[in-house]
A and B are shown apart, each in its own frame.
Chain A
Amino acid sequence: MVEPILQVRDLVKHFAGNRPGEIIHAVNKVSFDLNPGETLGLVGESGSGKSTIGRCVVRLYRPTAGSIRFGDRDISTISEGQMRPLRKEIQIVFQDPYSALNPRMKVGNLIGELVKLHSDLDAPARRERVTALAARVHLNADLLTRYPNELSGGQLQRVCIARALATNPKVIVLDEPTSSLDLSVRAGILELLGELQRETGVAMLFISHDLETVQLVSHRILVLYLGSVVEDGPAEAVFAKPAHPYAQALLSADLPPDPDVVLDRQILQGEVPGPVHLPPGCPFAPRCPLSREDCTRAMPPLASVGANHHAACVRIADGTNDIRSAHASTGGDIHKKFQDQFVRRTT
């Protein structure tokens, strides 16, 4: 069994709220492994802590507690100075390429910066490396002399990916890399990421709220709610048979772009509460249609529900964790009837 490149254990990250004494519990005791060549998808809604986890892993934030073992070192507590050389091993791609790049630097220099910082190549060798990287991400060379505001969103995200690749990192964190891109451009970026992973075997942490994208690119999935892992497992298993009630509701809320798919929506009540006053026990208890008394006693442990597939719900033990049993689903048939009935009328 090959050694995981990243081992995160009980990661906790709290921020000070704007009112004095108020604490934002962004991440609460999250643990996961990331193996070389694997893509781990982090899925969750706003306030789930997925972006914070990504930023803790690349040490843009210093974790409040817990450990992050990268290779053989725990990087959760080392100083910025010690972290800097390690940064070439672990890179990050942000959501909005326009705000992630220095507007006053040419694209070529933006990519070249990474090469300059982490290698001792001389200028010509660096230029060669930059041109190679640009070709690798399907960017034509004449864009290298342009400034970021002259490029489209898709092209700029390719520049960011080229920057992340420049130092042949072992791990790349992708924080909603395609969320601010249009559909057709997004497909190109996802394909590029797949291509690069197959070639370089780099491990990827893919963070997104877009379920379909995560399902396409991820080998394993981590479903997060209010800073805690509620379910984790292989992508097919989690998407096919989600065990945790929240995961079931979340995955069922997805809208496949195909009118013939019958929806089986589990509509939740209310919204994700603010991460300031966490409810006792399972964070989802207040909104969960299946919640019962012992849900609020303590945070349910991640119980196994299949091969390498776990979910944190007390009801898994007695198999009563199917959310559909709570109330009649409001999906499928009604939609279909409504659309057919209308189509006939106008032709």
Chain B
Amino acid sequence: MTDTSIDRSAAVGFTTSGRILGIARRSPTFAIGFAIVTAFAFVAIFADLISPYGAIETFSRQVLQPPGVEFFFGADGNGMDVFSRVMYGARYAFGIAVPAATLMLLIGVPLGLVAGYKGGVLDEVVLRIMDVLRSFPSIVLALAVVSATGQSLINVILVIGFLDAPIFARLVRSEVLALRSSGFIESAVAAGNPTWRILFVHLMPNAIRGSTAMIAVRMAWAVRISATLAFIGVGIQAPTPEWGAMIRQGAEFVISGEWWVALFPGAALVGIVLGFNLLGDGLQDLLDPRRKATGK
């Protein structure tokens, strides 16, 4: 039997503050995640204005100076201000996560849509790629590809985007299969919709809605992987203010006691990745029909 206690009074009494509080109460993880990501985005956009020094401005006399008034996060091995470089690093985090996510969407969604809807050969191919990728740990694959194809920023983005596309394609594909079983695809076919309309007017909006939560989680993964590549010395290299590269540089000084060089970029990295993950997890709660609170 359908759930017919339709709540018409929801539209009444909408206030922005009420809505924010409502969402925060419903899914605190989403609220915290959203706050963190917006904060990092703010820092990334206005890094030039708010950072005390330039990204690669060196102060030869203050090399490895501990955190203090002059250098909030201390200075690194080349006498650069860690605090400013961490701020500029936020640009690289978004600079990699956003294009990688777009690439993942551009390839993954159509692939997933067609594989899920058409089935047959293409579906088999996507599945086979998935099997190969699944038993082929992504870190190693990324490493092998980047080390083979060169360490530019574009390369890293391309590698992460292409690596993630099949994973995203599989998510979209499972959403499509779920939608197919729900019957409204059958009624779209029976109505006489041509295939392109079924794919892009009917399937895509619903499949995307189902996988939005996944985009945030995959962006978190993209940031982490790019930092790992940089840390190992295969991705973006110093002096670019990329957090992974900064941690790599800081690693040498940990043994000799200068903890701050590696600590702060790492903390920022954990911060933004946690933010994306919280956002993704929270979105999962909000968008998940089962958890809506309309009682029977």
Q: Does A84 reach chain B (CB closer than 8 Å)?
A: yes
Q: How far is the CA of A151 from the CA of B8 in the complex (A)?
A: 10
Q: Number of residue pairs across A and B with beta carbons under 8 Å? A: 67
Known contacts being A152-B4, A152-B6, is A102 close to B206, with CB within 8 Å? Answer: yes
Q: Give chain A residues whose Cβ lies under 8 Å from the Cβ of B205.
A: 102, 104
Q: In B1-21, which residues have CB < 8 Å from any A CB?
A: 1-2, 4, 6, 8
Q: Give chain B residues whose Cβ lies under 8 Å from the Cβ of A114.
A: 191-192
Which of B2, B6, B8, B206 is within 8 Å of A96, CB to CB? Answer: B2
Q: Give chain A residues whose Cβ lies under 8 Å from the Cβ of B2.
A: 96-98, 152-153, 180
Known contacts being A102-B202, A104-B209, is A96 close to B183, with CB within 8 Å? Answer: yes
Nearest CB on A from B29, distance (A): 25
Q: How large is the interface on B (under 10, 10 to 19, 20 to 34, 35 or more residues)?
A: 20 to 34
Known contacts being A103-B206, A104-B205, A153-B2, is A91 close to B182, with CB within 8 Å? Answer: no
Q: Does A100 reach chain B (CB closer than 8 Å)?
A: yes
Q: Does B189 reach chain A (CB closer than 8 Å)?
A: yes
Chain A window 84-116, contacts with chain B (Cβ cutoff 8 Å), 1 for yes, 0 for no: 110110011010111111111000000001100
Q: How far is the CA of A58 from the CA of B192 in the complex (A)?
A: 10
Q: Give chain A residues whose Cβ lies under 8 Å from the Cβ of B184.
A: 99-103
Q: For residue A150, which residue of chain B has the nearest CB?
A: B6
Q: In B154-194, which residues have CB < 8 Å from any A CB?
A: 182-184, 186-194
Q: How far is the CA of A97 from the CA of B1 in the complex (A)?
A: 11
Residue contact A113 to B191, C-beta cutoff 8 Å: yes
Residue contact A88 to B183, C-beta cutoff 8 Å: no
Q: In B195-210, which residues have CB < 8 Å from any A CB?
A: 201-202, 205-206, 209
Which of B186, B190, B209 is within 8 Å of A87, CB to CB? Answer: B190
Residue contact B206 to A60, C-beta cutoff 8 Å: no
Q: How far is the CA of A163 from the CA of B206 in the complex (A)?
A: 21
Q: For residue A61, which residue of chain B has the nearest CB?
A: B186
Q: For residue B205, which residue of chain A has the nearest CB?
A: A104
Nearest CB on B from A320, distance (A): 43
Which of A91, A94, A182 is within 8 Å of B183, CB to CB? Answer: A94
Which of B1, B8, B183, B192 is within 8 Å of A100, CB to CB? Answer: B183
Residue contact A102 to B6, C-beta cutoff 8 Å: no
Interface of A is mostly: helix
Q: Give chain B residues whose Cβ lies under 8 Å from the Cβ of A127.
A: none
Q: In A146-168, which residues have CB < 8 Å from any B CB?
A: 149-153, 160, 163, 167
Nearest CB on B from A195, distance (A): 23
Residue contact B187 to A100, C-beta cutoff 8 Å: yes
Q: For residue B209, which residue of chain A has the nearest CB?
A: A104
Q: For residue B10, which residue of chain A has the nearest CB?
A: A150
Residue contact B191 to A163, C-beta cutoff 8 Å: yes
Q: In B201-259, which residues have CB < 8 Å from any A CB?
A: 201-202, 205-206, 209
Known contacts being A152-B6, A180-B2, A182-B1, is A99 close to B182, with CB within 8 Å? Answer: yes
Which of B190, B193, B201, B202 is within 8 Å of A60, CB to CB? Answer: B190
Q: How far is the CA of A103 from the CA of B206 in the complex (A)?
A: 8
Q: Does A118 reach chain B (CB closer than 8 Å)?
A: yes
Residue contact A104 to B206, C-beta cutoff 8 Å: yes
Q: How far is the CA of A221 from the CA of B20 in the complex (A)?
A: 58
Q: How far is the CA of A97 from the CA of B2 in the complex (A)?
A: 9
Q: Give chain A residues whose Cβ lies under 8 Å from the Cβ of B183.
A: 94, 96, 99-100
Known contacts being A96-B2, A100-B183, is A87 close to B191, with CB within 8 Å? Answer: yes
Q: Does A278 reach chain B (CB closer than 8 Å)?
A: no
Q: Give chain A residues whose Cβ lies under 8 Å from the Cβ of B201.
A: 102
Q: Does A121 reach chain B (CB closer than 8 Å)?
A: no
Q: How far is the CA of A168 from the CA of B194 in the complex (A)?
A: 20
Q: How far is the CA of A98 from the CA of B4 in the complex (A)?
A: 11
Q: For residue B2, which residue of chain A has the nearest CB?
A: A153
Known contacts being A102-B202, A104-B205, A152-B4, is A92 close to B187, with CB within 8 Å? Answer: yes
Q: Does A23 reach chain B (CB closer than 8 Å)?
A: no
Residue contact A117 to B192, C-beta cutoff 8 Å: yes
Q: How far is the CA of A99 from the CA of B191 in the complex (A)?
A: 15
Nearest CB on B from A251, distance (A): 26
Q: Give chain B residues whose Cβ lies under 8 Å from the Cβ of A118.
A: 192
Residue contact B192 to A87, C-beta cutoff 8 Å: yes
- Supply 6 further A-B pairs (C-beta < 8 A) apart from A92-B187, A103-B184, A150-B8: A99-B184, A101-B184, A152-B4, A163-B191, A180-B1, A180-B2
8 contacts between A and B (CB under 8 A): A92-B190, A94-B186, A100-B183, A102-B201, A102-B206, A103-B184, A152-B2, A152-B6
Residues of B within 8 A of A (CB): 1-2, 4, 6, 8, 182-184, 186-194, 201-202, 205-206, 209
Q: Give the 3 A-B CB pairs with smallest separation, nearest first.
A: A87-B192, A153-B2, A100-B187
